[in-house]
Structures are given as structure tokens and as C-alpha cells.
Amino acid sequence: MDDMSKISQPNGSDGLHSDPSAALPGRMALFEHLSGSAAEREGGGDMLIPFAFEETLCRDVGAGLAPPSVHLWSHPGGVALGLRDSRLPFAGQAMQSLEARGIRAAVRHSGGAAVPLDQGVVNVSLILPKSRGTLDFHRDFRLLASLIAEAAGFSHPSAAAQILAGEVKGSYCPGDYDLSIGGRKFCGIAQRRQSHAYFVHAFVVVGGSGQERGELVRRFYEEAAQGAEGLDYPKVQPEIIGALGELGGPDSAAVFADGIRRAVTARGTELVKAADQAEETGYRLGYGDPRVLEAAKMLRERYAQ
């Protein structure tokens, strides 16, 4: 969408909170793999592990083996490419350049274009079973967008009140549900569907420099395209990207992640930690699970250069 629209804040009055179709399940499992945690280190720095984890968890949610879930994660450092990015004429060379600089590069299977991942970027995913009838992906995007605004609002209400939704031209991975403050994007939202479940996912730039991340992606595209005409890829303007901390919001991944937990529970949803879920039902899933490792291998082989 070209027009920007205001996202609801806690106790907001724009109708999102009162929309029953946008309600969260009454009980959700909470899986966390934030940078530096033992759970995150289990992935060994492989950037495809978080995506493989969510792919596996989504299948289990669809099969009724796992409850609806929230996944909070980050990665020490890398660039996750979209499928279109991988088809640019010199994408392989550009990915090798990133790797040579110590920046992991991989092609993800969910929608969107290139996004940088590091410990200052918090990824938020809602993994939900499909209900009968037609999926309203706009509803789910609005739901996650409002949760993100609410999460920021618990610690920084004045900044959260300025959050707008709508495509931010010149940003990396542009989309209708970009979230921005003062014209600078700090979040993008995408969705991935399976037969019986789906997940809606957001990357949220919390700490550090948004412009530096924008420059990283701009340089990737510059090398991957090398001036070829007629190619469809984001023309990134680094100054368009901002981090929440630069825009008056929380600058700590831990503070923002806590805000997400609070935003979910404030809607009446009981969040059950993964360890407690395992104790209660026997369902366990981690980054080192053989099924997750196999899914990561399949993703790498399917989308490898």
C-alpha cells in the first residue's frame, strides 16, 4: 500500500484489538533462540537453522503435534536472501564476497528480499494452524504489526505512537506492511504457508545502525547486478533504514523481546515456555533436532547457487 496507516497501540481504538478474527489462540508455546543463548548456539551459526526450525515446527502445528507457537530468535550475523535475489546474474559472487567478510549468506524459502540479520535484529514469528475457510493474510499481517507496536509501547510509548504501516520506498525487502517511524523503516513482515499451518514472520531492527545495514544490502545488490538493466530488485537507499533505538524506541533486543511476551499475554494468551511444554506434553524441538538439521540440509540443496 502506498498510503501509510497508523498501527494500534496498547488500549488503542483503531479496531484491531476488538476484531475477533485477529485474536491470538488462548494458549501458545514460546520458543526462544536469541543471540548468545545456549539454545541459539545449538545451531552452530548456520543461518538456515532458524528457518528450518520454523518449517519443522509449522508442520508439527499443522499435524496437531505442537500447539500454536511464538518464536523469538536472532542470528549473530548474516544476510538472508529471497529467491529473486538468488537469481540475479552475479548473486553467487556477491554471496561469496559476504562470506569472505565473515558475513553468512543463505537463501531463505519465505517471501521477500534480502535482509541482514545480527544480534540487534529480533525476529518474531507466529506459527498457527489453518482454520477452515479462506486465509486472510492481511489480518495476520495486521495482527503481528500491532503486536510489534504494542511491544515497543510498553517501554517507549511516545515512539510507538508514531509507528506507521505501509511500504517504505528505498528500503530493503519492501512490502505493504513495512513498519516505520518518521519515514524510516525498522521492520518488515512476510508469511509462509503449508498445507495445514502457516507462519507470519517479522524482522525488527532494534539496536545498532539502520543505515549501516542498508549499506550492507545495497552493496550486495550492486555486486549481484553489476549494472545490468531490466532487473527487478530493491534499489536500497541506506538512510531510509532505521533501528528502533535510533527512532526513539527500545534499543535492546532483550527489552523488545520482553515487550513481545507482554504484548501477547496482554491479549489474554497464556505463553508456555518450550521447556514447560516439553515437561507437560512431551513435545520437544530444538535447533539440534535431527529433523531440523535435515530440513536445513534440504533448504540448502534446494535453494543453493
203-224 pLDDT per residue, tens: 999 999 999 999 999 999 999 9
Strand order in the sheet with 115-118: 104-107, 77-81, 115-118
Structural class in CATH, domain 5-303: alpha beta
| CA angle centred on 145, ends 238 and 241, rounded to 5° | 5
The three cell numbers of residue 219 are 552493496
> Hey, where are the domains in the chain?
5-303
Residue 58: active-site member = no
* pLDDT tens string 6-33: 554 433 333 333 344 468 999 999 999 9
Torsion sign (Cα): 209, 182, 24, 200: negative
The active-site residue out of 16, 173, 243, 296 is 173
Q: What is the pTM of this model?
A: 0.91
Question: Which residue is it, cell 512490502?
Answer: 175
Count of helices and strands (H, E) across the chain: 10, 12
What does the pLDDT read at residue 297?
Answer: 93
Print pLDDT tens along the chain (305 aa). Answer: 334 445 544 333 333 333 444 689 999 999 999 998 999 999 888 999 999 999 999 999 999 999 999 999 999 999 999 989 999 999 999 999 999 999 999 998 766 799 999 999 999 999 999 876 666 778 899 999 999 999 999 999 999 999 999 999 999 999 999 999 999 999 999 988 888 999 999 999 999 999 999 999 999 999 999 988 889 899 999 999 999 999 999 999 999 999 999 999 999 999 999 999 999 999 999 999 999 999 999 988 876 65
DSSP three-state, residue 255:
helix
Contacts of 174 (CB under 8 A, 6+ apart): 113, 167, 168, 185, 188, 234
192, β-bridge pairs: 199
* pLDDT tens string 134-174: 667 788 999 999 999 999 999 999 999 999 999 999 999 99
